[in-house]
Structure 1
Amino acid sequence: MLKIFLSEVTEWGWIQWMFFLFMVSGTCSQGTVHQPPVLTAALGHDAIMPCQLILSDNVKMVIPPVLYWAVLPQESDDDKLWPPSENYKERVDLLDKDLYSPNKSVLFRNVQWADSGRYQCKVSITTKDGRFRRLGNTSLLVVHDTMTFNLSGHNDSLLRCEVNVTHNPGFVLTIFHDGYKLETGDSSASGDSNSSLHFVTLSEAVLLSSDGTYECQLHLNEDLVTTSIFDYHLPVAEEPKDAGKNVSATVQPDKPVEYKEPWHLYIALLLVPTIVLLVLLTALLIRRD
């Protein structure tokens, strides 16, 4: 293969090959669009759909980039989140109004079960050298309802945690007592699914063995989505109202959108021209030998 490559390089000429390869590497490294693979949203709340445009230092835009957010699979013009089609009017807005900003995230208002699905960020960029489009890798939006974590109505010694979530095998319920994980069933398989309603009900229950703080956590893969706390106090015979001290509270983690720096993309942008140069230098040294 190397001999064939050297033969072709010799026939065409080193200058032409170097120009061609650097043009290819430059095209590949002009820019990328970064969006997270999975997003979670509480039913009826707003969600931020992150999208970041990353351009090479040598790329200078001559006009503001054109942003599209597609709902996949995109079967018609009604499947556009941005610019919003009829289905999404007055529910979507730009997070950053500066058209030249690399932040191409949008605010998605009043998320519903039917909004679960895949979304793709697309950006058309115009430079003095031409126009090109970059696509994100799509984000999966999953929705969850408010978690309930309280005593069972049929059994005062049974503590039940329940929540409705989008169909996704990565959702798991876990119950802790004073920080220690309790053994329960497989919450991801114990729910009663209803495909027409776009959600599945996850449920877990534990017997109350002692007083203390019980916590139910909903995870999507490794990420904590929401949690609920139940403070339990054993009823005292002399003070029957003592059981009324039991308190349940759901806490929605306040997770502002944090863009993890896509260092692998930065490194890739730097490595492409470097690798091309090393290949050319190696081939040149072999040819001289």
Structure 2
Amino acid sequence: MLKIILSEMHHSLVVTKLGWTQWMFFYFMVAGTRSLVTVYQPPVLTTALGHDVMMPCRLNLSHDEKMVTLPVLYWMYLTEDNTDNLRLWYPSEKYEGRVERLDKSRNTSNKSIVLKNVQWADSGKYLCKLSITTKRDKSFRRKGNETSLKVYDTMIFTAHNDSLLWCEVNVTPDPGFLLSIFLNGCKLQPADCAPGAVGAALPYVTLSKTVPLRIKGEYECQLHLNGDLITKSIFYYHSPVAEVDGDAERNGSLTCLTTASEPAVVVFPEPWLLYMALLLVPIVILLSLVTALLMYRC
């Protein structure tokens, strides 16, 4: 009897310990969830030279987190050595008069700003930080994950010497930028390509591509950054009058670039004669049966 009682007490103690362990784990897990305070920033932004750009920064609080005072906003331009970071809000001299809050209400959790008249020198990394005071954690600071701002200039897409089509654009130095030319949706093999010429004192690189201009159709120059379309320009080419009879199409060859993930697709004409022949077979058989039936009755 004593062994049974001791066994039951030991079992109860083990269950109690296990229960306390689970309860403490649940408590800390919930406590961590309840104290969730984050600042959201997009990793990359692109904008055209001279345009305005909205730079998102949003404060996310868990539903039961209580703010004691309004958050103080810090927007910073990060230098490479982190020794001379510039303030955007409240702005340093470089950004004076060029920065505005998107939502001017102090009570909002949207701390995004608008940077006006973007220049090449504005390319770089930006950090949004907020000083926060809550009931649970008192005063602390949260920062986002940095936003990298990329700038591009107006794209030039024009014919050169009536035989070549030339596309050029200046962009912030970044290996993710890619320039491509398409004809009627087909990517063309460039006749010439500049991977990114840059001067010693220039804050941008020049991407350039040239393709032969022999086939009429819709040419499109596209600028991509890490696979995302940034901007494009369209050029419509019509064959000269002397080549309307089809000499231009016969003299020019459409060379498409394909990759392993984009296999070449060969389009064959529809076999309409075969379709008609297949439809005629059951009709002929039906007419033969009807004719034989009528002759049998007669």
- Equivalent pair of 2:192/2:210 in contact (CA under 8 Å): no
Tell me if 1:52 matches 2:58. yes
Q: 2: CA distance between counterparts of 1:179 and 1:55?
A: 46
Tell me if 1:224 matches 2:229. yes
Distance 1:49 1:185, change over 3 A: farther
Superposition RMSD on alpha carbons, in Å?
A: 2.7
Superposed, 1:168-179 pairs within 5 Å as 168-179=174-185
Q: 1: CA distance between counterparts of 2:93 and 2:21?
A: 55
Q: 1: CA distance between counterparts of 2:83 and 2:191?
A: 40
The aligned residue for residue 189 of structure 2 is 183
Encode CA deviations 1:40-84: one digit per residue, 9 max, x unaligned: 0111111111112111111121221111111113423x6111111
In the superposition, the TM-score normalised over structure 1's length comes to 0.71
In the superposition, the TM-score normalised over structure 2's length comes to 0.69
Tell me if 1:198 matches 2:206. no
Q: 2: CA distance between counterparts of 1:25 and 1:186?
A: 57
- Name structure 2 gaps, 5 residues minimum: 1-16, 245-298
Displacement after TM superposition at 1:22 (Å): 5.1
Which of residues 125, 128, 138 is equivalent to 2:135? 128
Quick one: which amino acid aligns to residue 203 of structure 2?
H
Q: 2: CA distance between counterparts of 1:64 and 1:195?
A: 46
- Equivalent pair of 1:113/1:197 in contact (CA under 8 Å): no
The aligned residue for residue 144 of structure 1 is 152
- Equivalent pair of 2:191/2:211 in contact (CA under 8 Å): no
Helix, strand or coil at the partner of 1:21:
helix
Displacement after TM superposition at 1:99 (Å): 1.3
Helix, strand or coil at the partner of 1:231:
strand
Distance 1:233 1:56, change over 3 A: same
From the CA coordinates, give the structure whose radius of gyration is larger. Answer: 2
Q: 2: CA distance between counterparts of 1:33 and 1:56?
A: 12
- Equivalent pair of 2:191/2:212 in contact (CA under 8 Å): no
Q: 1: CA distance between counterparts of 2:86 and 2:210?
A: 40
Superposed, 1:24-173 pairs within 5 Å as 25-26=32-33, 29-73=35-79, 74-76=82-84, 79-129=86-136, 130-152=138-160, 155-173=161-179
- Name structure 1 gaps, 5 residues minimum: 1-9, 240-289
Q: 1: CA distance between counterparts of 2:200 and 2:23?
A: 59
Distance 1:156 1:58, change over 3 A: same
Higher relative CO (Cα under 8 Å, sequence separation at least 6) belongs to: 1
